[in-house]
Structures are given as structure tokens and as C-alpha cells.
Amino acid sequence: MGFLDINNVTKSYGSVEVLHKVDIQVQEGEFLVLVGPSGCGKSTLLNMIAGLEGITSGEIVIKDRVVNDVQPSKRNIAMVFQSYALYPNMTVGQNITFGLEMQGTPKAERDAAMADVAKLLQIEDLLKRKPGQLSGGQRQRVAMGRALVRDPDVFLFDEPLSNLDAKLRVDMRTEIKKLHQKLGTTIVYVTHDQIEAMTLSTRIAVMYNGYVQQLGTPKEIYDNPANLFVATFMGSPAMNVLPSKLVEMNGALHAQIQGADGQDVHLRIEDAPEAYRAFVGKDVVFGIRPEAITDPEGADRNARNIQALSNLVSVTEPAGADTFVSTTLSGKDCVARMRADADVHPGRPFEFAVNMDKAVLFDPKTENRIA
Amino acid sequence: MAATDPMLSGGADFRTRLQNWLPKIVLAPSLAVMVIFVYGFIAFTVYLSFTDSRMLPSYGFVGFENYSDLFQIRTWDTAVTNLAIFASLYIVICTIIGLMLAILLDQKIRGEGFLRPIFLYPMALSFIVTGTAWKWMLDPAIGLENTMHLWGWESFEFNWIKDGDMAIYTIVIAAVWQSSGFVMAMFLAGLRGIDNEILKAAQMDGASNFQLYRRIILPQLRPAFLSAFVILSHLAIKSYDLVIALTGGGPGNATALPATFMYSYTFTRNQMGIGASSAVIMLMTIAAIMVPYLYAELREKK
Amino acid sequence: MAMASSDNAVRSSNFTRALIYLVLILFALFYLLPFGIMLVNSLKPLEEITGGNMIALPQNWTIAPWLSAWSTAQIGVQPTGLRPYFINSIVMAVPAVAISTFVGALNGYVLTKWHFRGATWIFGLLLFSCFIPFQIVLIPMARILGILNISGTAYGLILVHVVYGIGFSTLYFRNYYAVFPTELVRAAQIDGAGFFQIFWRIMLPSSGPIIAVCCIWQFTNIWNDFLFGASFASGGSAPMTVALNNLVNSSTGVREYNVHFAGAIMAAGPTLLVYIVAGRYFVRGLMAGSVKG
């Protein structure tokens, strides 16, 4: 049993089931991120935890109490909304203490609580202003203040950074992470931004089409994606997924892909999992992250199995710290991530170094990772 | 449509369940009032139109007799003809004037803020006031005709309001005066809603001003045209006050409209059954216009 | 609402611009003329109207027609002037506007923020009720008012105007609240506010503009109503519009045009005043009210 248990929860609108048997146990102090493209059901799930939407079947349990029939305000949760949802007619101070006022907390206590939160978030001098007079970042802080002041068991965040500009978004991200480390609260955080998910979370639930595709730590999700969707959704640029064939040559397994010149290329796989055996001679999808394809000098020194691959460079995109290099493999665009000073030129062949330790294979039929 | 869905299942406590029922409880009185006073009354009037009611409602069923009688009555014939003349002229002229004024006002006019309220204020007035004003202005003895005579144009004649064949057009004049500013406002809002970059792009493409309006702007005002049509047509069918104040339906019955017909047959001539059947026909005419429009509007929103 | 001057890309020459101004000014005169003539002639002695030019300014200025219209003119059978009827209209319009606006606000709130199955249908039915020809309800309404024993009273007219005003007031508030962020309602729910607390503390304080629009619209409609007033209020309880019509169309005696004009301006006064004070909202409301469902 966790601190917040989502037990086999489903949600239907009429006959349409939009969430299918979601089962997640969140421990106290965890930072769980629900990530997925729009329409995947992540916000619906968050609203169900909040009590803003009914639960069709299953249970949501907060601190050993089933809250299915408990009103939002009685669940001891707090929520930060995408639009911040600050009451426009109230001052910042009134916004922060409105929840306490509704619970009948005496004014002196409310003011004390407000002062603490304002200090923590450094918004003391904004308390008398109306939300309309605040900048985006300030509103974001006030919205967090309103959540913090209630000292809830669980914080819910619904895409709280998506209305901020790029720079502020990064700053606020750091700030939320600091706050979590400082207060040790339990957080469920919804975002469609996989970078936010990776940086903030202790665990990630990747959602798609109303299913949790994979639940795990950021590292697990990134290194061992459960299926093609997770593999391509998490990480930027996305993982390269190439049609391929698993073949056995010279007593070792090889992924056979097609070079830009139409010739087959074989990449040797070492320490292949037992499950690979069943796919020998069959089509598979070969997945490799851009940073696992480099120039030979830039290859990971700790890698045990680096395979050379010579292919024509189609495009180079310098991006400051890195240079992204495109090349065509198995008829698809494949991106490699290199050091800025790598000596690559479009239109010329280049010797790529492929770190096969990081390569994964997927079953093209089920789209699940073969492991 | 985004909205809260707090429907919690059976096990909730009383307060929680009360909260879930409150919205419906709050809406219920309005719903009841509407069901009784609008749709119930409509049903009752429809029913009366099939009875032999005269001064008071009576419940002798006569089938379609009232309707067949109705179409035999000369005044009803006049009223329907008048409505056709009035409604078509009213709608067309209001639309033309409204659109023209809106386009002209949209040419970065200095003093727009001054002119716009002048065009619009008539619609704040009661039709009775409008009728009173125009009644005397069009009166040959003291109004326009008299003024022209005093200014030396002795042969000027403008006595439509006293002329059975022309009186209906005086109602058009007064009604256009009252409503065209409102139509202007609707078109102006439509014009202001058009993306300026589209206009700039069209100019880059070499469109002249005329082409710009004909090819780019007017087609985008379709919703405004539709709204104007719907609103003007339902106003025209409901027109009652203006006729009463301006001509009293006269001379004779020359300016009778269905609305005045219904009133006089029901309340002064004690032919309630016939009055009810004329009201039903008015309702059906409006419904024929409004129902498809509202249906489309509401469906679009979903 | 895009009433503010926008950066229109269309340009035209000096000659066309002069023409544009000319047309606009002619139309302004067309709209101003009837009211101007009423005003000018309401300040003339009667002989100057019957024997003179309606456009000319008065030679002998007088406010006698105004005094007469207000307190001594013959309305129906009583020489009471329009004053009691003016009061009737106020007594009728103010509560009717207040009640229908309040009910409309609650309905709009329920229909947008507590959406439930069938809500669109209910709204469609309400919306259609805005456009029915009221002739269709006159007969049963007269019966009901008789049964309730409020026929010919202010209560009767207040009831009628509230009943047939709810459709429009609901339309206004629904359209306004439809774009009011639902997240605010959700935040308030999490903060522990109930149905009415959310309405009073969150929705209403942000509804100033639409309350103004709705009140103006309802006031204009109710004040200017003639059909219900003529049908359900008789004699001394008639509203201003009915009294004015009686004054103008009474067939006995000399036609006192100047008094009629003064009376007409009095009847127009309150709505014109509202229009001048809050006309901008009025226009905006009409836009929203133009059935953008």
C-alpha cells in the first residue's frame, strides 16, 4: 500500500472508456509525473484524484482512506492549474487564504499561514495586488502559494508551466524541484513535455490512449522503454527506430539494416537477452538513441560494444553544444548526436560509431520491446 | 464542452449529494416556468385554435374550421400581403443601409465615436415613440408636405399615411429608421472581426477596394448576414406596436398585420378561435426561420 | 468586441473620403431629424405647429406642453397627465429587470459550469422562447393572471416580463460564463467552496459587464413593451407606452401635438438616458444577444 493508491481505476463517458484500469501506487514524498500527448487521459486521471471528475470503477485511496465519494475539498489535496485559476476579483492574499476561509479557519491563523507561504515563495510584496497586475511567473508563484498554504497530503499539478515562456519555464521547473526537495511532499504532476517529466520526477507514468504504457524511474523509461510509443515519445530528438532484421552470423546475433547505398549493414549484438532467439531471421524494429550514434572519437569510453558504420551524411544541424547529423538508414531518417567539433559534412560519407549497448529491439507486431 | 463532472456515486454523504443536486434544483423553477408559460401556453393556444371559442375560451371542438375561416377573411388576406411587403422591404432596406453605413464607418472615419451612437439611438426608443414621431412628420397637414409647401414647393405631395395603398410603406420607413442602426452595428462588429492580415494579403495580391469587399470581406460577413436576417424577420413578424402607434392599422384595414389582426379578433371582435389560429400561424412562420437557425447554432457549439 | 478602431488596410482617395463623410452626415441627419422635430415642437405653442413650419425653431418658447403632458393631459378618461403611468412603468420595470437578471445569472452559471445531460436541450428551449410571437401566449396568460387575481396589477406585469425575460437573460449569462474559465470553478471546489459560494464569491464579482448588458437590455425591452401592457393592464395601471398611445390617439378634442411630443420624449427618456450613459455596453450586449448561441 502506498500513500496515494490508484487501484484499477477506469473512466467512461457513456459507452466510451477513456481510461483503462489504471493502477499506480505512489509512496509518500514521491514526485510522480503523468506524461503523454494530449488526449491520453492524464488530465482526466488527475481530475479524478482531485475529485473533479467521478470514478467509473476502481478506487482512489489517499492515506488509507477511499476517497471515491469524498468531495474535492475534503480530500486534503491541493491543485495548481494550467491557467493558474487565480480568482480575478480577489487580491493575492485573499486568493491564497480563500481555501482556509472556506474551511472556517480563524483570520489570525490564516494570516500567519499566508505570511509563511509568502515568505517561502518570496511574494510578500505582491499580497495586496490583484492577479491581473501580475506577470506570468508571479501568477505561477501565487498559484503554488495557494496550494502550499493548505499543507495538503498530495499536491496536484496540471501542466503548470505550459503558459510560461521558455526561459521562465526552466527557472520555475528548477524552483518546483527545489520546493519538492525542501518540503518532501507527495506530488502528482501532469505534463505533455517529456523534458519536464524527466527532470522533475522520481517516477514517470507514460500514458497513451487511456493506458499507462510504462511506469518507472526516468532512467528506466529512457533506457528501457517498454514499447515503441514510449521509446519515441520520451527523449528529444526522438529515438531512431529503423526497420531491421535479426540475423545470426558467425555465431553472434546481428541487426541487419540497410545503408544509404542500398547495401545491408550488420551491427553485432553482444550479450543478447534470451528473448532475442525467438526473433532470429525475423523482422524487428531497431531502436537507438541519437546520442548513441557519434563520431568515433566522441564515443562513450565505457561502452563495451561499439560498432562502426559508414554511411552518407544528408544534413548537419549545428545546435551550439551539439551537432545533429542526419543520415538515411533502412529508408528512414536517422539522427546522430555529435560533439560540436566533429568533422562531418553533408553529402559525404562518414564513419559513425554506434554504441550497441544502448540499442533496443522491438517486435514490429506488438510494438513491445523484446526483452 | 468543458465543465465539472462532480457526479459521485451512491455512497456519498447527504451534503455531498445535496451539492450534486443543487444545480438542477436551481434550474428547475426556470424550467417549470418555461414549460408552463411558454410551451404549455403554446399548446393551449393551439388547442383553442381548434375550438369554437369566442369571447371566452370554450371547448367545443371544430377541427380546422377556424383556419379555413381565417383564410376567407379579407382582413387576414390584407394582413398577410402587408406582412410580405413590409417584411421583405424592411429586411432588404435595413440590410442595405446597415451594411453601407458599416462599411463607410469602417474607413477610419474621424468622429466615428460620435456618429455611431447617432445611428444607433433609435433602437433604444419604444416603437410607440417612433410611431408618434413619424405619425406627425408624415402627416400632410403639419409634417413634411406642409413644410415643403411653406418653403415654396406648392405642388409637393406626400400623403402616403392617409393613402390606403401607400400607408404600409410609411411603416417600412419608420421601422427602417428604428432598426437600420442596429443592423449597422452587427455588420460593423463583423467587419472588425476580420483578420487584417487577410486584407493586407489581398491587397498584395492586387485586389482593388471593390474587389476586396466583394471577394474577401462580404463572404466573411456571412454570419452577420444570417443573424441580421433572423433578427429582422422575427421582428417583422412580431410587429405590432409600431403599426398601432403610426396608423392604428388604418386607413381602414390598409396597414393591418397578422399581429394587429390577432389582437383585434381575439380581444375586440370576440373571435378567440380565429385569433388563436392566426397566432399559431405567426408562431409557425417564426419557427420555420428560428428552429433551423438555433439548431445549427447549438450543434456547432457542441 | 472589436468596436475599437482597428488598423484597417483599406485606403481610399480624398474625393471618395469626402463623399463618405457626406453620406454619413446625411444619414446622421436622417436619424436625428425625427427626434429633433419632436423636441423643437414640444417647446412651441400649438398655433405655431398647426400654422407654421415643423422644422422652424419656436418663436415663443414655452414649457407648457411639458407640464401639461406630465400632470394635466387627458389620458383615457382622467386628466392625470403621464406622471402616474411613468411611475407605473418604473414600479414594473425595476423589479422585473432585477429578478430576470438574477435568475438569468443563476441559469447561465448552472448551464455552463454544472453541465449535465439535457442541458443543451433546456437551453435550446429557453432560447426559442425569446423569439416566439407573444400573440401565441396572450390568451392563456390573460386567463392565468385572472386566476391568480393579479390581472391589471403591477405584479401581473412583473410576472409576465420576468417569465418572458428569462430566455434572454439566460442567453447573455450563458454566453458570458461559457468563456469564463472553468478552472476557476474547479479551484474553488478544491478550496471547499460550495455551489452558491462559488456563485457569489467567484462568478458574480467578475460579471459586472454582463450584468450591465443584461440590465440595459431587459430594461429597454420591458420599458418599451406595449403589447403586454395593452393586454394585461387597464386604466390606471397601464404602463407609460400604453398611456402615451392613449394620449396621442385619443379622438376627442383638439390634437395637442406639442403635448404629444413632450409625452413621447418623456416615454423615451429613461431608455435614452440608459443608452447615453451605458450605450457602449448596450451595443456589445446586442452583439452577444444576436443569438451567438
Shortest distance, CA A48 to any CA of chain C (angstroms):
12
Domains and CATH numbers, chain A: 4-233 (3.40.50.300), 240-362 (no CATH)
Contact flag B240-C241 (C-beta cutoff 8 Å) = no
Minimal CA–CA distance to B134: which of B97, B166, B170? B170
Q: What is the pLDDT of residue C7?
A: 44
Chain A residue closest to C182 (CA)? A85
CA-based nearest distance C65→chain B, Å: 16
C116-135 burial by CB neighbour count: b if 16+ within 10 A, else e? beebbebbbbbbbbbbbbbb
Degrees to nearest 5, angle at CA B70 with B65 and B72:
100
What residues does A266 pair with on adjacent strands?
A: A256
In the prediction, which pLDDT does A5 show?
A: 93
pLDDT of residue B3: 40
Measuring CA to CA, which residue among C38, C53, C41 is closest to residue B149? C53
Inter-chain residue contact A68 with B9, CB threshold 8 Å: yes
A296-344 pLDDT, tens digit each: 888 888 888 889 889 999 999 998 888 999 999 998 999 999 988 888 8
Cross-chain residue pair C23–B104, CB shorter than 8 Å: yes
C interface mutation test: which of B126, B127, B231, B268 has the most C CBs within 10 A? B126
Q: How many other C-beta atoms lie within 10 A of the C-beta of residue B297?
A: 18
Contact C257 B283 (CB under 8 A): no
> Which residue in this structure is represented by grid cell 418658447?
C61
Residue by residue, DSSP assigns A241-260 as EEEEEEEEETTEEEEEEE-T
Report residue A236 as a C-alpha cell: 528529444
State the pLDDT at residue B8: 45
Residue C208 in contact with partner chain A when CB distance is under 8 A: no
Best mutation target, C113, C117, C190, to test chain A (most A CBs within 10 A): C190
Burial class (CB in 10 A: 0-12, 13-18, 19+), B66: buried
CB contact under 8 A, A52 and C186: yes
Interchain contact A51–B (C-beta under 8 A): yes
User: In this complex, do A98 and C193 lie within 8 Å of one another by their Cβ atoms?
Assistant: yes
Closest-approach residue (CA) in chain C for B201: C9
Strand A306-319 relative to strand A322-329: parallel, antiparallel, unpaired?
Answer: antiparallel
Chain C residues near residue A47 by CB distance under 8 angstroms: 186
Mean pLDDT of chain B: 82
More confident: B139 or A8: A8
| pLDDT value for C41 | 83
pLDDT tens digits along A279-304: 999 999 999 999 999 988 888 888 88
| C164/B104 Cα distance (integer angstroms) | 37
Find out whether C216 and C273 touch, Cβ atoms under 8 Å: no
Domain extents for chain C?
Answer: 14-66, 83-289
Residues from chain A that touch B7, judged by Cβ atoms under 8 A, are 54
Which residues from C are below 8 Å from A71, CB to CB?
Answer: 189, 192
Q: What is the pLDDT of residue B211?
A: 79
Interchain proximity A52–B4, CB inside 8 Å: yes
Task: List, in sequence order, every beta strand (DSSP E) within A159-216.
Answer: 186-191, 203-208, 211-216
- Interatomic CA distance for residues A273 and A269, integer angstroms: 10
Which residues, including other chains, have CB under 8 Å from residue C133's CB and lie 6 or more apart? B237, B238, B259, B279, B282, B283, B286
Alpha carbons A1 and B18: distance in angstroms, whole number: 33
Domains of chain B: 74-301 (1.10.3720.10)
Size of interface B-C (CB pairs under 8 A): 318
> How many residues are there in chain B?
302
Residue A150 in this model has a pLDDT that exceeds 90: no
pLDDT along chain C (293 residues), means of 10: 40 77 90 88 80 77 83 77 88 94 94 84 86 86 87 87 91 86 90 90 88 87 89 84 84 77 90 83 57 38
What's the grid cell of residue C98? 432585477
Distance CA C90, CA A237 (A): 70
Q: Give ipTM to 2 decimals.
A: 0.83
Residues of A within 8 A of B18 (CB-CB) are none
- Tell me which of A9, A48, A60, A69 to substitute to probe the interface with B (most B C-beta atoms closer than 10 Å): A69
Residue B280 C-alpha, separation from nearest chain A C-alpha, in angstroms: 39
C183, C191, C202: best mutation site toward chain A, by most A Cβ within 10 Å?
C191
Number of Cβ within 10 Å of residue B73's Cβ equals 15
Which chain A residue is nearest to residue C205, measuring alpha carbons?
Answer: A89
> What's the CATH superfamily of C83-289?
MetI-like (1.10.3720.10)
- A28 closest CA partner among A62, A59, A60: A62
Cis peptide before B251 (omega within 30 of 0): yes
How high is the mean pLDDT of chain C? 83
**Measured distance CA(C269)–CA(C261) in Å, rounded:** 12
Long-range CB contacts (< 8 A, 24+ apart) of A316-323? A316/A344, A316/A345, A316/A346
Contacts of C191 in chain A (CB under 8 A): 73, 98-99, 102, 146
Predicted confidence at residue C80, as pLDDT, reads 82
CA atoms within 13 A on the CB side of C72: 6
pLDDT of residue C286: 55
pLDDT at residue B279 above 80?
Answer: yes
Which of B6, B12, B16 is the closest to A52 by Cβ?
B6
